[in-house]
Amino acid sequence: MAQIIDGKALAKSIIGEIAEKVKKIKAVKNISPKLAVILVGEDPGSQIYVRNKEKDCEAAGIISETYRLKADIEEKEILALIESLNINKNIHGILVQLPLPKKLNEEKITNKITPEKDVDGLHTINMGKLFKGEAPYFMPCTPSGCLEMLLSTGVDIKGKEAVVVGRSNIVGKPMAIMLLSKHATVTICHSRTERLGEVCRRADILVAAVGKARLIKGAWIKPGAVVIDVGMNRLETGLVGDVDFNEAKEVASYISPVPGGVGPMTRAMLVKNTFIAAERA
């Protein structure tokens, strides 16, 4: 039976540490870390996520200011808003909540954020530095949270075979690079990979980030593997991951649950990045 990697508890611990650092930076340097969040449209998942981010920032003593924009807003208006936030010295981090409405160019909008304030780590410069093995200003929050969860197990990543299921720019690709940087041997798969179950079963470390409910079965998991489930799939019965949790927990050594796993850790990494941005400023 697998041990549960409690992302909620780990995130609470990280946010508590940041709260202490925020108190010091306010007292010593008179800096109040501040995050600007741009939310476009009425996507229900995004609304919930932004509310949770606001709560986490409050717990850490970080000011969070949300700009709620209508779905039919013109792209040039968003770009102008980001430009004004870039030059505002009181704003330390800027986040555009994804996904954006389809008529908007996500890459153009996220790349408008200055890399030093890109606390979501999605700017082309930050991604490029990560892929070249240089130190980016910030790394993407979700894979950073996954890595923290892996490290919390005490399992040595070096030399292990890691399989990442999912190839998105937000999770899959940067996750693979982060695992490579820890000297894992990494395979990236996706929904069209042939004999996906066989590939997954080779993994000492399995990260599922493909966006298909319960795709990964218990029989696909190597006995004793560490499983990180990034999936957030809303079914009528509730929120489930990309891994069939009930089957997988019987085989894995460690497993992250959904909900209560990667989600809270993603937000904790955002809080941490915002503090770092303020500290550098």
> Is the pLDDT higher at 48 or at 273?
273
CB–CB of 86/41 below 8 Å? no
Structure tokens at 35: 């995050």
Share of the chain above pLDDT 90, in %: 95
For residue 75, is pLDDT > 90? yes
pLDDT (mean) for 227-249? 95
56-74: pLDDT as tens digits: 999 999 999 999 999 999 9
Closest CA to 223 of 245, 261, 254: 254
**237 pLDDT higher than 90:** no
pLDDT for res 43:
85
At residue 191, the pLDDT reads 85
Average pLDDT over residues 255-261: 97
Please report the pLDDT score of residue 272 as a whole number.
98
What is the predicted pLDDT for the residue at 44? 84
**Helices 7-29/141-152 angle, 10° precision:** 110
C-beta of residue 26 within 8 angstroms of C-beta of residue 275? no
Least confident residue range of 47-51, 59-63, 95-99: 47-51
Could you list the active site residues?
53, 97, 120
What integer is the mean pLDDT of 178-199? 96
Distance CA 180, CA 270 (A): 22
Mean pLDDT of 226-248: 95
What pLDDT score was predicted for residue 40?
Answer: 97
pLDDT greater than 90 at residue 260: yes
Residue pair 248/221 in contact (Cβ under 8 Å)? The answer is yes
What pLDDT was estimated at residue 252? 98
Residues 6 or more apart whose Cβ sits within 8 Å of residue 223: 251
Tell me what the mean pLDDT of segment 106-123 comes to.
97
Beta bridge pairs of residue 164: 188, 207
Residue 46 corresponds to which tokens in the numbers above?
């995004």
Measured at the CA of 270, the angle between CA 266 and CA 276, to 5 degrees, comes to 140
CA 79 to chain centre: 24
| Domains of the chain, first to last | 30-114 (3.40.50.10860), 141-263 (3.40.50.720)
Alpha carbons 112 and 38: distance in angstroms, whole number: 13
Quick one: pLDDT band at residue 45, thresholds 50, 70, 90? Answer: confident
The token pair at 91 is 């704003």
Please give the full DSSP string across 132-179, using - where no structure is assigned.
Answer: HTS--S---HHHHHHHHHHHHTT---TT-EEEEE---TTTHHHHHHHH
* Residue that wins the pLDDT comparison between 85 and 49: 85
Q: Write out pLDDT tens, residues 138-184.
A: 999 999 999 999 999 999 999 999 999 999 999 999 999 999 999 99
Handedness of CA 99, 102, 105, 107 (dihedral sign): positive
Which percentage of the chain shows pLDDT scores above 70? Answer: 100
* Sequence-distant (≥ 6) Cβ neighbours of residue 158 within 8 angstroms: 182, 183, 184
